[in-house]
């Protein structure tokens, strides 16, 4: 197995990051520093990264329906509730792919596959994420057009969104919003730009993985066929 794939299969990082670690000279195989990117290792070889032994692990993939009131973190200095308070200890080693803020709900992919996490979150790969959003007023078509063309939500940061209106009256607008970026609180900041307030925000799909069949606070393994479809999808959009 290629050394970078071996390191990535430990869940430590992506293959790209593994290549960087190899080039930095912090990877040892059987006590010998390796800087050759195409180096191969076998089952009996001992691989150390920054003096820590790494070994391939069984890759796990779960869907989780995050409820409101929990932060997407392993721990919190302020003592707030985290998603790991809802997960059994045998899943605490899994990392979320991206984040949902405390007030938001919906789909989180949890995995120990560092390479997949990198592919789903790297800015160079435009992975669609779909949200069901309700705001406290009727929005107008020119505002949706502006969201598609881009809004500067922070100095030097322009956010884009594709919007499909599902329901609207004078007191609310419910819409499906698709993002291809991963900016912090992006939807909320875009809505606030127009002077509105987000009443509810739920992620319903991330790439090919959906929230279908999950109740709030529930988690389920992602089927191998779904992972295969997800990785095929990522290969197509790279």
Q: Which residues of the chain have pLDDT under 50?
A: none
User: Residues spanned by CATH 3.30.70.580 within the chain?
Assistant: 61-123+208-237
Which sign, positive or negative, has the C-alpha torsion 6, 97, 62, 224?
negative
> Is 101 labeled as catalytic in the residue annotation?
yes
Tell me which residue of 75, 92, 175, 160 sits closest to 126, measured CA to CA.
160
pLDDT at residue number 9: 87
Please answer whether residues 149 and 190 qualify as being in contact, where contact means their C-beta atoms are separated by less than 8 angstroms: no
For the chain, strand residue ranges (E) read 27-29, 32-33, 47-49, 52-54, 61-66, 95-96, 105-111, 129-135, 151-154, 157-159, 162-169, 172-179, 198-206, 209-210, 219-221
pLDDT at residue number 121: 92
The CATH class of the 61-123+208-237 domain is alpha beta
pLDDT at residue number 92: 93
User: Residues spanned by CATH 3.10.290.10 within the chain?
Assistant: 3-54
Out of 19, 45, 75, 101, which one is annotated catalytic?
Answer: 101
pTM of the model: 0.86
User: Residues spanned by CATH 3.30.70.1560 within the chain?
Assistant: 129-206
pLDDT at residue number 172: 96
pLDDT at residue number 195: 96
pLDDT at residue number 43: 84
Residues, the chain: 238
Spatial neighbors of 220 by CB under 8 A, at least 6 apart, are 62, 63, 213, 214
The domain 3-54 is classified under which CATH number: 3.50.30.60, 3.10.290.10, 1.10.1060.10, 3.40.50.2020? 3.10.290.10
Q: Does domain 129-206 have CATH number 3.30.70.1560?
A: yes
Residue with tokens 């003096």: 51
């Amino acid at each position: 197995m290629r050394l970078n794939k071996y390191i990535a299969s430990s869940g430590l990082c992506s293959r790209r990051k593994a290549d960087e670690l190899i080039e930095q000279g912090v990877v040892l195989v059987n006590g010998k520093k390796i800087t050759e990117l195409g180096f191969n290792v076998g089952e009996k070889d001992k691989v150390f990264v920054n003096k820590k032994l790494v070994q391939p692990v069984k890759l796990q993939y779960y869907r989780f329906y995050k409820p409101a009131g929990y932060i997407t973190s392993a721990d919190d200095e302020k003592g707030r509730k985290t998603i790991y308070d809802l997960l059994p200890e045998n899943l605490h080693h899994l990392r979320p792919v991206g984040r949902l803020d405390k007030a938001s709900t919906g789909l989180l992919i949890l995995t120990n596959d560092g390479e997949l996490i990198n592919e789903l979150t790297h800015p160079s790969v435009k992975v669609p994420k779909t949200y069901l959003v309700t705001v406290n007023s009727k929005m107008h078509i020119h505002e949706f057009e502006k969201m598609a063309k881009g809004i500067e939500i922070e100095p030097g940061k322009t956010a884009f969104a594709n919007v499909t209106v599902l329901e609207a009256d004078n007191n609310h607008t419910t819409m499906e919003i698709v993002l291809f970026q991963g900016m912090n609180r992006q939807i909320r900041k875009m809505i606030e730009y127009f002077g509105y307030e987000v009443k509810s925000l739920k992620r319903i799909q991330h790439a090919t993985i959906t929230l279908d069949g999950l109740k709030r606070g529930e988690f389920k393994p992602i089927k191998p066929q779904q992972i295969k479809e997800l990785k095929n999808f990522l290969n197509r959009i790279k």
